[in-house]
Amino acid sequence: MNISFNGSPMAATIAMPAELEVLSPPPQLLPGESHDHYKALQAAIFLDLAPRSAIEWLLAIDVAEVSWEIQRYRLLRDRLLEVYRQKGIEMSLRWIDVTGVAPAYRDEAELRTARNAAIWRLDPAAADEIEQRLASYGFDRHAVSMEVYVQAREAFALFKTLINTAQIRRMLLLKVIAVSRQPTRARTTDREDETLR
């Protein structure tokens, strides 16, 4: 298998022993996720960790799985921000187009604002016009971004928690691998030190 780091191909030299392949179930991928990308990430991690025992292989498989989760969460968070950016544009346009509108016309004004925000997302020329219009009212890109974060704060906090939790799990797995590779005498001494405390 060939894997690529920063555009340069590198041959993987670590292959999971055939008798241990049953320990690595097929990944549960979401629509749009690539099995080849998952395998490349897994191969890179196996290459880096160079597992030496069945336990280390299990831990390396878990490290790959958690690393994939982190990438997934980051991608989903970024996609979420794109969706909320449209909502931020819509909310900013409401300040301009709906404020002060008579109650009888408010629903129509809100519908037009939502339609303009959808057009902003789909049509680059219209997006430029809408952003220039917002800027003329003091809604620059930073103001819109602030509105995006206000709208997405709960979902964004959820993804932050998911990413941080997965990163902690990965660090713990890596620590277990590192501890398992310490010479027996050093591990015994560490345990003795813990007992004395």
Task: List, for residues 99-150, the tens digit of each pLDDT value.
Answer: 889 999 999 999 999 999 999 989 999 999 999 999 999 998 888 888 888 8
How far, CA to CA in Å, does 74 sit from each of 78, 119, 162?
6, 26, 9
Of the candidates 23, 34, 90, which has an alpha carbon nearest to the alpha carbon of residue 62? Answer: 23
Is residue 8 situated within a structural domain?
Answer: no
Predicted pLDDT of residue 3: 45
Predicted pLDDT of residue 188: 56
Predicted pLDDT of residue 22: 86
**Burial status of residue 33 (CB atoms within 10 A of its CB: 0-12, 13-18, 19 or more):** middle
Q: φ and ψ at 8, to 5 degrees? A: -105, 130
Is residue 100 situated within a structural domain?
Answer: yes
Is residue 62 situated within a structural domain?
Answer: yes
Is residue 178 situated within a structural domain?
Answer: yes
How far, CA to CA in Å, does 73 sit from each of 27, 39, 86, 97, 158?
16, 18, 20, 35, 10
Strand partners, 8: 5
Phi-psi region at 12: left, alpha or beta (left = phi > 0; alpha = psi -120 to 50):
beta
Q: What residues contact residue 189 under an 8 Å CB cut-off, 6+ apart?
A: none
Number of H helices, E strands in the chain: 6, 2
Is residue 170 situated within a structural domain?
Answer: yes
Is residue 5 situated within a structural domain?
Answer: no
Is residue 21 situated within a structural domain?
Answer: no
Per-residue tokens: 81: 């921000």
In the chain, where do the E strands start and end?
A: 2-5, 8-11
Predicted pLDDT of residue 128: 94
Q: Which residues of the chain are modeled with pLDDT < 50?
A: 1-10, 12
Phi-psi region at 34: left, alpha or beta (left = phi > 0; alpha = psi -120 to 50):
beta
- What letter represents residue 77's amino acid? R
Per-residue tokens: 4: 């690529």
- Count the domains in the chain: 1
Residue 110 belongs to what domain range? 33-182
Per-residue tokens: 176: 């277990």
Predicted pLDDT of residue 14: 81
Predicted pLDDT of residue 57: 95
Is residue 28 situated within a structural domain?
Answer: no
